[in-house]
Amino acid sequence: MYDDCCVISLAGNPNTGKSTVFNALTGLRQHTGNWTGKTVVTAEGKFYYKDKCFKIVDLPGMYSVNPNSPDEKAAVDFMSSKKSSLTVAVLDATNLERNLILGLQIIEQCSNVIVCVNLIDEAEKKNISIDLDMLSSLLGVPVIGTNARNQKGLDKLKETIYNCAKLKNDEKIKTYYGNISNIVKKAEKIYNMSVSCCCSNKCGYDRKIDAVILSRKFGIPIMLFMLGIIFWITIFGANYPSQILSGAFNFIEEKLIYLFNYLGFSENIKGFFIYGMYRTLSWVIAVMLPPMAIFFPLFTFMEDLGVLPRIAFNLDCCFKKAKAHGKQVLCMCMGFGCNAAGVTACRIIDSPRERLIAILTNNFVPCNGRYPTLIALSTIFVAGITGSFVSIKVALVILIAIVLSVAITLIISRLLAETVLKGMPSSFILELPPYRRPQYGKIIVRSFLDRTFFVLLRAIAVAAPAGAIIWLLQNVTIGDTNIINYISQLLEPFAFLMGLDGFILLAFILGIPANEIVIPLIIMFYLGNGSLTNTESVTEMANVFFAHGWTIKTAICTMIFSLNHFPCATTLWTIFKETKSIKWTLLSFILPTTVGITICIAANFVMSLFL
C-alpha cells in the first residue's frame, strides 16, 4: 500500500502532542501513546503533498535513544533503520529544555531530521518566546513551530518534509555531542540562547494548582472527591440510556417472537434463540454500554486535562510500598471502567514481573459491570428505597467499596511480589504534563473506539453463547427438577458458609459472561422463569429478595463477593491474550475468588455474632 511512499518517523517524548501532529498530518483519529488505555504499538497513516506520498509512522513516546523498554527499543530501531528516510522530532515548546535532550540525541542518531516545536500556543500563554531561527541555527537542522490542534504551522511542516525528504542520507552530516552529560549541558546552552521567558514565575499556574492537588494534605481527598463525582455521574447518568436501550431491545424481541411464531418454530427453538441468546445479549448491551459510554469519556477527559498522571503521582508511593510498579495506578484506574481494558493497559509497564502483578490484581477493582449489583443492594439494604438523599448515600457506598478494593489490591500486590513474583519495584519516569484544554471531539471518538467499542465487542462474543447455555440449564429437567435447582442444592451448604444461598452463588458462576447479568439471574432463579427477568422497579426487586429470606447480612456478603470474585469471560480472554499463558489466566481466576470466599466467610461469621 505504501510502496511508493516516503517513510517518515515521528518521534518524541510522551505528552508533546506528537500524536496530535500525526492526526493533523494524516487526518486519522488513531491515538498512540504511553498512557493507560492507549495502544503501545506504532500507528501508521499517509498524506499527499504536491506530487509525493508520505507514510507517517507514529512511534511510541520515549525519553532516550538508549532504550530502557521494549517500546523505546522498537522506536529507536525503526527511527534509525533504512526504512525511515526522515525523522520528525516533536518537542514541547513549554518544556523545551528537557525535550532538547532527546532532540539532540535524535539529531545525533539519525542522518535526516526535522525538529517540530509543538504547543507554541501554550508557550505564548506562559510568556515563553522561542527564536526558531536561532534554534535552527544552533541545532543545524530545520525547525518548525506548530500548534497541531489548530492546524497552525502544518503547511510549513509539510513543505519542509517535502524538501528534506528529497535529500540523500549522505548529504546530511551527523553531529556528535558526546555522552549524556555533554548533551544535557548542550541542551541547557541552546535553550538559554534561543528561549526567553518574561514571566516572573516560570512554573506559572500549573505549579500553583499542583501545590494543592499534589500536596500530602489535600491530594488524596481531592482525588477521592473527583472519583466520587465521576462514579456518581456514571452510575446515575446511565439509568436513562439503559432504559431506552432496554425498551428498544424489548420492541425488537416482540417482533422476533412474532416472526418465529409466524414461521412455525417450536417453543424450544424460540426459547433457545430469543429468551436465551438474544435476551442475554441485549441485557448485556443495554446495561454495559451506557456506563462505559459515560465513564470512558470522563476518564479520557481527565487524561486530556492532565489530571490522570497526577492521580498516579499521589498513589505512586502506596504502590511502591506494595513492591508494585507505579504505573499500576493507571491500569487500576482504567479497570474501574472495565477490567479487560485495565488488563490491556498493563502493556505500559515494561517489567514482565510487574506487568503480571498488575494484570493479576486488576480484577480487584470493581468494573462498571458490578455497579448494578452494588447499586441495587445498597439502595435496598443501606440507603433505603424511599429515604432522603438516596443517590448520595449509594454513591458513598460505592466510593467506600472502591477504597476497600484499592486497599485489597495493594495487599495482594505485596503478597505476589514477596511470593510467586518476587522482586523489587523498578524505577520509572512519571511525567506530569501541563494542564491543557481538552479536545472534546477527539475525547468522544477516542474513548468510544479505543475503549468502549473494543470491550463491548469482546463481551458480545461471549454473551450470546452463554445465554444459550443458561437457558438450557434452566429449561432442561431431570425428573421433576431442572438442572439449575440441582446445582443450587449442591452449592447450598458452601454458599451458606459465605452468607449466601445456592442460587446467589450459582448466579455468580453463570454470570461469568458479564457481571451485569448476576442480579437478573438471581431473580430468574427465584421466580422460576425460564429466561432472564428484569423487574420493573427497585421495590419489586426488594420484595423478591425479602420473600426469599434476604437480610442485611446476605446483602453485604453478596456485595463483598461481587467485589472479589473471578473475572468475567471477556477479562479472562484478554488476560490470556496478553500473557499467552494458561497458568497465569487460571491464577487470575483463582486468586480473587479465593480472596472473596475467605472475606465472605469471615464477614458472615462476625455478623452472625451481632445480627
The torsion defined by the Cα of 183, 185, 189 and 194, in degrees rounded to 10, comes to: 50
The pLDDT value given to residue 74: 78
The pLDDT confidence band at residue 173, using thresholds 50, 70 and 90, is: very low
pLDDT digits (tens, 9 = 90+) for 332-353: 887 887 888 889 888 878 778 8
Cβ atoms of residues 240 and 248 within 8 Å: no
For residue 493, pLDDT beyond 70: yes
The answer on 348 and 256 residing in a single domain is: yes
The pLDDT value given to residue 32: 42
Smallest Cα–Cα separation from 90: which of 19, 190, 184, 187? 19
- Backbone torsions φ then ψ of 428, nearest 5 degrees: -155, 160
pLDDT digits (tens, 9 = 90+) for 217-249: 888 888 878 877 887 787 778 778 888 888 888
What is the domain extent for residue 62? 6-202
Query: Is the pTM higher than 0.75?
Result: no
For residue 87, pLDDT beyond 80: yes
Is residue 214 in some structural domain? no
The answer on 224 and 194 residing in a single domain is: no
Cα 37 to chain centroid, rounded: 4
The answer on 300 and 223 residing in a single domain is: yes
Helix (H, G, I), strand (E, B) or coil at 189: helix
The answer on 360 and 296 residing in a single domain is: yes
The answer on 224 and 192 residing in a single domain is: no
**How large is the average pLDDT for residues 65-86?**
77
Residue with cell 448515600: 393
The answer on 252 and 194 residing in a single domain is: no
The answer on 196 and 123 residing in a single domain is: yes
Q: What angle do CA 429, 306, 190 make, to 5 degrees?
A: 60
The pLDDT confidence band at residue 37, using thresholds 50, 70 and 90, is: very low
- Backbone torsions φ then ψ of 122, nearest 5 degrees: -70, -35
Is residue 213 in some structural domain? no
The pLDDT value given to residue 595: 95
For 213-229, b/e burial (b = at least 16 CB within 10 A) is bbeeeebeebbeeebbe
Is residue 208 in some structural domain? no
Task: Give how many domains the chain has, as a whole number.
Answer: 2
pLDDT digits (tens, 9 = 90+) for 549-588: 999 999 999 999 999 999 988 899 989 988 889 999 999 9
pLDDT digits (tens, 9 = 90+) for 506-557: 999 988 887 878 888 888 888 876 666 665 567 778 888 899 899 999 999 9
Smallest Cα–Cα separation from 285: which of 256, 248, 255? 248
pLDDT digits (tens, 9 = 90+) for 100-119: 999 999 998 888 899 999 98
Is residue 211 in some structural domain? no
Q: What is the CATH number of the domain that holds 106?
A: 3.40.50.300
The answer on 179 and 225 residing in a single domain is: no
Mean of pLDDT over the chain = 82
Of the chain, the percentage scoring pLDDT greater than 70 comes to: 86
Instruction: Provide the residue type at 291 as one letter.
Output: P
Residue with cell 500525526: 22
**What is the rounded CA–CA span in Å between residue 574 and residue 553?**
34
For residue 300, pLDDT beyond 50: yes
Is residue 429 in some structural domain? no
Cα separations (Å) of 334 from 230, 383, 551, 586, 588?
A: 13, 28, 33, 22, 17
Cβ atoms of residues 84 and 8 within 8 Å: yes
**What is the rounded CA–CA span in Å between residue 319 and residue 327?**
9
Is residue 433 in some structural domain? no
* H or E segment to which residue 57 belongs: strand 52-58
The answer on 135 and 29 residing in a single domain is: yes
Q: What is the DSSP letter of 473?
A: H
Q: Which of 202, 230, 252 represents a domain boundary (last residue)?
A: 202
The pLDDT value given to residue 389: 63
Is residue 1 in some structural domain? no
The pLDDT confidence band at residue 601, using thresholds 50, 70 and 90, is: very high
For residue 496, pLDDT beyond 90: yes
**How large is the average pLDDT for residues 185-191?**
89
The pLDDT value given to residue 369: 78
The pLDDT value given to residue 505: 95
For residue 171, pLDDT beyond 50: no
Q: Which of 202, 229, 244 represents a domain boundary (last residue)?
A: 202
The pLDDT value given to residue 39: 38
The answer on 564 and 523 residing in a single domain is: yes
The answer on 286 and 191 residing in a single domain is: no
Is residue 522 in some structural domain? yes
Which stretches of 238-327 are DSSP H helices?
239-263, 267-270, 279-305, 308-321
pLDDT digits (tens, 9 = 90+) for 354-411: 889 999 999 998 887 787 788 888 888 876 655 556 667 777 888 888 889 989 999 9
Q: Which of 148, 170, 202 represents a domain boundary (last residue)?
A: 202
Cα separations (Å) of 343 from 212, 257, 276, 357, 410?
A: 31, 39, 29, 10, 16
Higher-scoring residue by pLDDT: 36, 158: 158
The answer on 223 and 170 residing in a single domain is: no
The pLDDT value given to residue 501: 93
For residue 36, pLDDT beyond 60: no
The pLDDT confidence band at residue 417, using thresholds 50, 70 and 90, is: confident
